Amino acid sequence: MSLSFDDILDWLRTEDPTALDELFAMADEVRRREVGDAIQLRGLVEISNHCARLCTYCGLRATTRQQRYRMSFKEVLACAQEAVRAGFGTIVLQSGEDLGLDAAYLCELIAAIRAQTPLAITLSLGERPRDELSAFRDAGADRYLLRFETSNATLFERIHPARTPDAPSRPQILQWLRELGFEVGSGVMVGIPGQTLGDLARDIVRFGELELDMIGLGPFLPHPGTPLGEEAADRLLIPFGDMPRDEAALLPAPNTVDMTCKMIALARLIRPSANIPSTTALATLHPQGRVRGLCAGANVVMPNLTPLKYRTLYDIYPNKSNPSEVAEEGRGDLIRQIESIGRTLATGRGDSPSILRRRAMLKNPETNQ
């Protein structure tokens, strides 16, 4: 759907519940038509909480006093087997930017999962050099998630200090991932201190320009042990419903369920066939957060498969380890939630329709002239 910056901004500043219900219904209809009613389950395994970076939003940043762990090869493979038993089609390996996870080890791990399971493999390991990304792809990785976090370059520099002055930018890495044939996922946090409604509208435009296969959106959740978490504690939010567009564009973006759901809905409208999760951050913010996201355009859930002894240490934001997912019984809750809104559970890998089209084009370029 063609959505201009002004259209997007108008939706973002709308606070009228009837109008918002219309937006969510429209996105839900596009979701149903493009990717169907079956919800894709991706098993998330947080393989290491070591991190060399100093992102001001994240509880894993290098300087937090935090017990660190790195899962063993065997432990990760056991999680992959659990994902298969649970009926998931995808495993997502996520970590801090851990220099101790060397590329050869990761390639071996990816190849072993590929050889021993039918799972699609998604990586979310932060910024890695092009040759490593290429090796991961050759070893059998299918997808990569790397959020650009915000399209406001000044804000991004402030919250995500570069490791070295000449380090490749996230947009550059997203471009490499695409060239290497990965299914590419990106996204932003909603309601970062210093982020405006205009910034969020530009984020949506960027999702369209990047032609993303997957879009991850979650509310920013202040972590008290981080610089940004402390800054967020004394922030005032201003109601913006009746403001003229130009003024509303400059207002701070709130980190609420409503604003995140508006972003999910707009992401669905701008990238109709993308896989869009209803994120754990949204579920952490409100007990109905997960369902709200699924009814506003999302079609993916990422249940956490990280062994319990590590899960609480993967502390990117507070209360992340949602108890409703911790026990076997908790997973039943998730399924009940999904069924309560008339949706089903997908089987199979759940590749995005856009990557299937792109790969077919790479194979037969002359049929697509």
Where does this chain bind ligand SAH (CB under 6 A)? 57-58, 94, 96-97, 124, 126, 146-147, 149, 189, 218, 220-221, 223, 281, 316-317
Minimum distance of ligand SAH from residue 223's CB (angstroms): 5
Residue closer to ligand SAH, measured from CB, 35 or 58: 58
Minimum distance of ligand SAH from residue 249's CB (angstroms): 23
Contact yes or no for 240/15 (Cβ under 8 A) = yes
Residue closer to ligand SAH, measured from CB, 281 or 355: 281
Residue closer to ligand SAH, measured from CB, 146 or 305: 146
* Helical pair 197-210 and 5-13, crossing angle rounded to 10 deg: 130
- C-alpha closest to that of 151 among 170, 176, 179: 170
Minimum distance of ligand SAH from residue 213's CB (angstroms): 16
Cβ-based neighbours of 25, under 8 Å, separated by 6 or more = none
Minimum distance of ligand SAH from residue 175's CB (angstroms): 16
Chain centroid to CA 260: how far? 12
Residue closer to ligand SAH, measured from CB, 188 or 248: 188
What are the residues facing 183 on neighbouring strands? 143
Residue closer to ligand SAH, measured from CB, 57 or 207: 57
* Identity of the residue numbered 137: R
* Identity of the residue numbered 257: V
What are the residues facing 122 on neighbouring strands? 92, 143
Contact yes or no for 94/71 (Cβ under 8 A) = no
Minimum distance of ligand SAH from residue 79's CB (angstroms): 17
Phi-psi region of 6 (alpha: psi -120 to 50; beta: other; left: phi over 0): alpha
Minimum distance of ligand SAH from residue 148's CB (angstroms): 9
Minimum distance of ligand SAH from residue 10's CB (angstroms): 26
Residue closer to ligand SAH, measured from CB, 150 or 273: 150
DSSP 8-class letter at 14: -
Residue closer to ligand SAH, measured from CB, 190 or 249: 190
* Identity of the residue numbered 289: G
* Identity of the residue numbered 22: E
Instruction: Tell me how far apart the terminal alpha carbons of the chain are, to the nearest angstrom.
Output: 24
Q: Are strands 183-190 and 38-48 parallel, antiparallel or unpaired?
A: unpaired
